[in-house]
Amino acid sequence: MPQTINLPKSMRAIELAKPNEAIRLADVTIPIPECNEHELLVKVEYVGLNSLDAYFAKTGFSQWQYPHILGLDAVGTVVQAKQGLFPTVGERVMWHANISQQGVLSEYAKVPNFAVSVVPKSIAASDAATLPCAGMTALIALDKLQITQGDTILIEAGAGAVGQFAIQFAKQRGADVFTTAAKHNHKLVKKLGADAIFDYHDNNLCDNIRQVLGPQGFDAVLDSVGGDSTKRNIELMRFCGRIACLKPLPRFDNELMFKKAPNIGIVSLAGAWLTNSLCAQQKMSFMSNQLLDGLAAGTLYTPKVTLIDFSAQHVSEALQKQISDGFTGKQVVNILS
């Protein structure tokens, strides 16, 4: 018999009827999801918003069925679990959801038990909700870049959520960290450990970076911007340097590829679910534990949290803001509101 507590038959959720540029969403009431023998039912407390949520709300995703519930990063309390499953009822958990299935902007959500991490009692649930997508993306990117002691790395958009985590992890691995950020965020990224900071609005950005870096070029680049910035970043790399890209690749000039011979890596959390890789899904849980351990130990700092009301209008406005130029911090939907 499953462990459980008294549950309602329906729940509030926020749905996307179809992709649209304005990110029009709807408040709905739908049945609570039914779990299979390896899934937990979680009462969702907080959902961290990501730029990916806004992007797919506008463009759609090939594996979504509509109406679709958005949201990938969740923290909540287990309210139903089959006998013998861990975590058990009453445990607070955090996870990054399967992008091909319904999301987590709802009062309840189901998730495979092996994909969650237990949140220590010392960590605020709203802070934990900032971790999964941005934190794991930063970790995967630095692993692909093979960052070690003494490497020089350029981290684009250092004040963004991924950038903030990446700066901290790169410094912990002994790298010299260069980053770009708007001027009003220079103090923030300096506090996180950045060694050299450049204004990404600067028309002389490349020349100013080379003046500080010297002629050798970066060992590695975490490219979260894409497009022409990716080409520029490869120009700033040493021969056979390493670049981890979070956005689709632009069309490269053959001469640039011949000149720099870059090692290009693509970062995707979604692939763990889309390829049905149980190993990759479990690895995400291990990374989540690493993030939670760092936060509990005081060696990792989260972006500043802005709480968003659980309503279609407020979430729509927040998602539009999520992809606006220069957005800093992390928006977290308070499902309990």
Q: What is the DSSP letter of 156?
A: S
- 145-192 tens-digit pLDDT: 999 999 999 999 999 999 999 999 999 999 999 999 999 999 999 999
Q: What's the average model confidence in pLDDT over 117-133?
A: 98
Provide the mean pLDDT of the chain.
95
Query: Residue 212: how many CA atoms within 13 Å on its side-chain side?
Result: 17
pLDDT in the model for residue 2: 52
3-130+278-334 shares its CATH topology with 135-266: no
pLDDT at residue 3 greater than cutoff 70: no
- Is 4's pLDDT higher than 70? no
User: What pLDDT, on a 0 to 100 scale, did the predictor assign at position 143?
Assistant: 97
- For 249, other C-beta atoms within 10 Å of its C-beta total 14
Q: Quickly tell me which residue has 């670049």 as its tokens.
A: 243
Task: Give the CATH architecture of domain 3-130+278-334.
Answer: Alpha-Beta Complex (3.90)
In this structure, which topology does domain 135-266 adopt according to CATH? Rossmann fold (3.40.50)
For residues 167 and 201, the answer to whether their CB atoms sit within 8 Å is no
Sequence spans of domains, the chain? 3-130+278-334, 135-266
Mean pLDDT value of segment 77-99: 96
Phi-psi region of 138 (alpha: psi -120 to 50; beta: other; left: phi over 0): alpha
| Residue whose token pair is 């961290």 | 48
**How many whole angstroms separate alpha carbon 136 and alpha carbon 139?**
5
- pLDDT for 6 equals 84
